[in-house]
Structure 1
């Protein structure tokens, strides 16, 4: 195995989340040194967002362990601007998220946002997420059983000339029931529509919670992340930070430069 000297660990569920404790055990099993820089509070759903409208405050929780009043992407950026600026980590881990980050949810995931932020800085990164059937029944046994081997294999298979940014999702199954790891693509179409849940506060003012109507039953591509978990496999999806649609770019480039008509301007 290629040695992993130093890991930077973050998450989006917050510094006190049980999944972070699981990730610290996993990181300690594969690296000589682990740095934790995690959000102070739950940052689920913030994607790759960074804080531009309020200052960031840091609290030290122990040796190489810090909490930040910011997003997961902030945690990566601050760590690389401060403590690890002159000696960067070999690998960034994000998680373990309590809940799968699959399909359309990946674009909103703070867990995935952290590894994409790392990828932008040229750092290899892996996101870890544990699917559940019951939110209240915490169980990271599947992730803890297989994450170390998965991380080591992805690390050993890495070509030093290419990006290494992976989104790993672990099924909610007994470890001995998991079939293995399947390489997958990010599926689409599981978010059917946004939904607002209305309420009234103590002053009689209306507020809304944003939610989504979801349906995974229509996803049947055997190479999709959703189907891998459904079939009892760990899903490993490669991610990259570019949002450019290369096929559309190629079609546009074939059309050449468009000269725009100033007479079509809005009045």
Structure 2
């Protein structure tokens, strides 16, 4: 992260201190792991939410980025109250990490519009006849509709969706399109957090910075950053964006956003033999798929 305050405490101790301070102030605190050893803390009190991203900067220093507001006060104000004067200048106490790693991960601060999307992302586990597969998806409607990739979904015996807060629900297939590699799932509940496809972008620029939020290796809320590194290509007469972005097992189905939180596409997969050359299903393909479902 390039923004936030640095405190002279190890990451585990910093996390415990913030969590205890927030709970003393009446918040319910949830923890999620992020990329590159970072941790996200979400503090909820009623309808108000604070978010804290913790990044180790050395064995004895942790950088914290706070966002959100509650009770008329910002996340930064709560952080200052909890930590008092125990903080360092942002350039003190650790060696600079330098530019973003070449594998597509990033040490850039995670923009607040991306953090606001994390609760809409779902980890999906499907029990097949001979094995279990895990992938990602995201809520597209309050009625409990979830959009995911469709590959590997054959001879399904059971399917579950796990949400950011740890809640788990049985999911059923509403419609599947193997050609587009898309599947629409339904869970038996109304969901407040969702990502409308109507606000997405169909065009992105070469070199544009993107962020994906998903469940690689079953770690919900994991954020990776990358960029567009190739023109759109057509595979089986369908367009795909090529990106330089870390794509790990379980990443398929992760939503991808621009820096303002606009939906760009969904992770389809990676180039075989690499973990940093990925392909995205564009938002226009997802919209066409959902429109066809509405007409049925």
TM-score by length of 1: 0.26
> Which protein is richer in strand relative to its size?
2
TM-score by length of 2: 0.24
> Which protein is richer in helix relative to its size?
1
